[in-house]
Amino acid sequence: MGSRRMNALTSLKPAGRRRATPPSALSNRRERHRSEIRERIFSSALRLFAEHGYLQTTVEDITEAADVGKGTFFNYFPTKEHVLASYGDERVATVERALEKARAGKEPVMAILKELAVSAAGQSSASPELLRSIFAAHLSSATIRAELQKRMQRFRNLMAEVFVLGQARGEIRRDRSAAEMARMTHIVFMGVTIAWAVNPDSSLQKSAEEVWESISPSFRARKERKERKRS
């Protein structure tokens, strides 16, 4: 209850209606409830995609697994495709956070890029089954692929901004286009992920780190390359 009150005090929503519980606390509770339901639908959907494939999973399967009514599903996701889009949005969010970090300027840009590349491959929620199901859906449906292409572009644009910051700070070479380096990094880590999804013969994280160690020297500014060699 204490934390709810705290939230109520800091809430920006106007209070005033007569209730036992302050309305802002109520709206907070509602918010939390909504986010729990959404999470339940989302994770049930991903589990079913992984188990049976994306195309084979129906909205009914999802609502049944999440124990919610069909109407409830549509309050959160207009279509099944939107669940997939949410998954993609989470990937884009990781590069948004990386860009924020790069802007904050407290860490070397190359360290931020490494973390991004390795964690994008090692997506916390990823299982080979889920990744296979998601890749298969993208390969099989032009509609889903069109959404992916938009997100790929956004992902690469944001990543290119991180590269630009690295160039401005002298960490990353300026004789290569930031957009091209971002595009290449994205392509390469897509390969790491899908190779692992079809053949999970070793740790995804380890593969991703090895690949980063191989490609990252070709991004470094000359001065940085020399210094790293000396040390």
Which residue, 26 or 81, is less far from its own copies as judged by CB?
Answer: 81
Report how far residue 32's alpha carbon sits from residue 104's, in angstroms, rounded to the nearest whole number.
30
| Distance of closest approach, residue 120 Cβ to its own copies, in angstroms | 12
The token pair that represents 44 in the structure block? 């049930």
Separation in Å, CA 131 to CA 75, 116, 153, 182:
26, 18, 20, 22
Question: Least distance to its own copies from the beta carbon of 218, Å?
Answer: 4
Query: What is the 8-class DSSP label of residue 172?
Result: B
How many Cα neighbours within 13 Å face the side chain of 201? 4
Instruction: Pick the binder of its own copies from 136, 147, 157, 220 (CB under 8 A).
Output: 136
Binding mask 45-84 for its own copies (x = CB under 8 A): --------x-------------------------------
Amino acid identity for residue 220 in this structure:
R
**Count residues contacting its own copies (CB under 8 A)?**
36
List alpha helices for the chain, DSSP H.
Answer: 2-10, 23-52, 59-66, 70-76, 80-104, 109-121, 128-140, 142-168, 178-198, 204-215, 222-230
Stretch of 20-28, 39-47, 72-80, 147-155 contacting its own copies, by CB under 8 A: 147-155
Please give the backbone phi and psi of residue 220, each rounded to the nearest 5 degrees, phi first: -65, 145
Residue closer to its own copies (CB basis): 12 or 201: 201
Q: Tell me if 189 sits within 8 A of 155, measured CB to CB.
A: no
Q: Contacts with its own copies in 194-213 (CB under 8 A)?
A: 194-195, 197-199, 201, 207, 210-211, 213
CB of 96 to its own copies, least distance (A): 20
**The only residue of 41, 152, 160, 162 in contact with its own copies, by rule CB under 8 A:** 152
Dist CA 204 CA 193 (whole Å)? 7
Q: How far is the CB of 203 from its own copies (least distance, A)?
A: 13
Closer residue to its own copies in complex, CB, 165/192 = 192
**Binding footprint of its own copies on the chain (CB under 8 A):** 53, 132-133, 135-136, 138-140, 145, 148-149, 152, 180, 184, 186-195, 197-199, 201, 207, 210-211, 213-215, 217-218
